[in-house]
Amino acid sequence: MLQKCEGIVIRTTDYGETNKIVTLYTREWGKVGVMARGAKKPNSRLSSITQLFTHGYYLVQRGTGLGSLQQGEIATSLRSIGEDIFLTAYASYIVELTDKCTEEKKPNPYHYELLYQTLNYMNEGFDPDILMNIYEMKMLNVMGLYPILNQCSVCGLTDGHFSFSIREGGFICHRCLPKDPYHFKLSPATVKLLRLFYYFDLSRLGNITVKTETKEELKKIITAYYEEYSGLHLKSKKFLNSMDQFRNLL
């Protein structure tokens, strides 16, 4: 049965001499794998639409197993990402995270929109660190993780100076700090942004400017939380960290 979908290429795997297995995250079907025959041949009409991060419309012959990709057209060119090694590193992490956290064939139009907007904003030159942090915060629920960010995770009070407790899984107020000697100190800006990233709708982003110290705090908290609870070890994250060190040298 031939069916059309809108999707983003989140992974590609070479298969044999000339074929590729392409993982698409689609608006209609969620995550699906399709076989793109001949896509590795330079003159193939499937070669440009099966590149990583491509957003397009795809015509797929669907069966019980892998679908077969018949044709496609590019909907949004995310060219800036492909031309910038740093952006490529960020986008690779975003798509690998998506791939690892989503189940096959479970449609989620909200999540599809989030992925599309994140890559699109990145392509348009919005701050990739902030986009990555927002995406990471939004992915927590997909993994079944629900950090406590609207009150103290120990006493439940909503006022006070908050730190972050990995052990308690969320904010901890100044009164409860003795409960977790390993808490992370937070600036009020970081408290506000962690909440914002977790709860708000990405389409209302606008231009957020975040100070370097605040970015460092965000990164530290989100990374520590992921390491403790997500069980993920992503190659793209390691690559991103080494790119970061490389960028600091420049």
Which tens digits make up the pLDDT trace of 9-63?
Answer: 999 999 999 999 999 999 999 999 999 999 999 899 999 999 999 999 999 999 8
Which tens digits make up the pLDDT trace of 62-90?
Answer: 988 899 999 999 999 898 999 999 999 99
Tracing tokens 């190659």 back to the chain, one arrives at 235
Which tens digits make up the pLDDT trace of 102-123?
Answer: 999 999 999 999 999 999 999 9
Q: Retrieve residue 167's tokens.
A: 């052990």
- Distance CA(41)–CA(36), nearest Å, equals 11
Q: Is the pLDDT of residue 158 over 80?
A: yes
Which tens digits make up the pLDDT trace of 199-244?
Answer: 988 888 877 889 999 999 999 999 999 999 999 999 999 999 888 8
Classify strands 30-36 and 67-76 as parallel, antiparallel or unpaired: parallel
- Cβ burial, residue 213 (10 Å; 0-12/13-18/19+): exposed
Q: Is the pLDDT of residue 91 over 90?
A: yes
As a whole number, mean pLDDT of residues 128-135 equals: 96
φ, ψ for residue 146, nearest 5 deg: -130, 85
pTM of the model: 0.94
Tell which residue, 143, 121, 124, has the closest CA to residue 134.
Answer: 121
One-letter amino acid identity for 181? P
DSSP 31-59: EEEEEETTTTSTT-TTTGGGSTT-EEEEE
Q: Retrieve residue 70's tokens.
A: 């018949």
